[in-house]
Amino acid sequence: MKYQDKDFNMKQMQQIMIGEVEEIDISLYADPRFSAEQMEQIRAGLKAGIDASIFAVPSFDIMQMHQICLGLVSGVDASMYAKTHFRGYQMEQIRLALEDGIDLVSFADLGFNGFQLAEMRKGMLEGFSVEKFGDTIYSSEQMYEIFLGMKSNVDVSVYSDAKFSWVQMQEIRLGLEAGIDVTLLLDENATWIEMHNLRDYKEED
């Protein structure tokens, strides 16, 4: 076997041998720079009949490769997110969005992480504009609280300030949904427990 002279470990050689048995073009991954796990992902793509060359890049980690492979299998334009600066979870959210006809690539380019992109995808799927929560200053949990407020049709501008933690936002949102005056809750220095107790008191009043 011509690859035996190269610096492959046992697991890498196993993937090369499996590929030869399956009669696929192992030249795409028979490279010591690929880990055995990367080789396996490339081999799986080749076996599925897709153009695995798009992710047969040593600088892609296994999760990135997997998400690109899934995109190719589902028929979306995986080249839109097959970029090494996107992390695997960002790629996953972009792929899922593309499968639903939503383009999140520009948001990922702006620095939104995978968890933030997940909340944006959920909101856009339900027809909401991301303008009210599509800002990198918000954590994914804060985005979720704003999204929930939009779903329940309360005035999210009351609490959509990044100075509030997500649990503080939650207490204010629940107060708005209960129809109480939340003015006393709008103190970022109050703990969420204090907000919770005050909200309970106002709702029982």
* Structural domain boundaries enclosing 186: 128-205
In a domain, 183, yes or no: yes
Strands (E), 4-150: none
Does residue 65 belong to any structural domain of this protein? no
Is the residue at 80 inside a domain?
Answer: no
User: How far apart are alpha carbons 42 and 81 in whole angstroms?
Assistant: 17
Average pLDDT of the residues in 176-195? 93
Whether 177 is in a domain gets the answer yes
**Assigned domain for 196 exists:** yes
In-domain check, residue 173: yes
Neighbouring C-beta atoms of residue 21, cutoff 10 Å: 8
Residue 53, SS3? helix
Burial 57-87 (b: 16+ CB within 10 A, else e): beebeeebbbbbbbbbeeebebebbbbeebe
Nearest to 114 by CA among 96, 101, 127: 96
Section 156-164 average pLDDT? 95
pLDDT, residue 188, reads 92
The whole-number average pLDDT for the span 18-43 is 95
**Amino acid 133: pLDDT:** 83
Rounded Cα gap, residues 48 and 12, in angstroms? 20
Query: Which residue has better confidence, 201 or 19?
Result: 19
Domain count, the chain: 1
Comparing CA positions, the residue from 43, 47, 21 lying closest to residue 31 is 43
Domain membership of residue 46 (yes or no) is: no
- pTM listed for this prediction: 0.87
Q: Does residue 59 sit within a domain? A: no
**Per-residue pLDDT reduced to its tens digit, 88-135:** 999 999 999 999 999 999 999 999 999 999 999 999 999 998 888 888
What distance in Å separates the CA atoms of residue 120 and residue 6, rounded to the nearest whole number?
A: 46
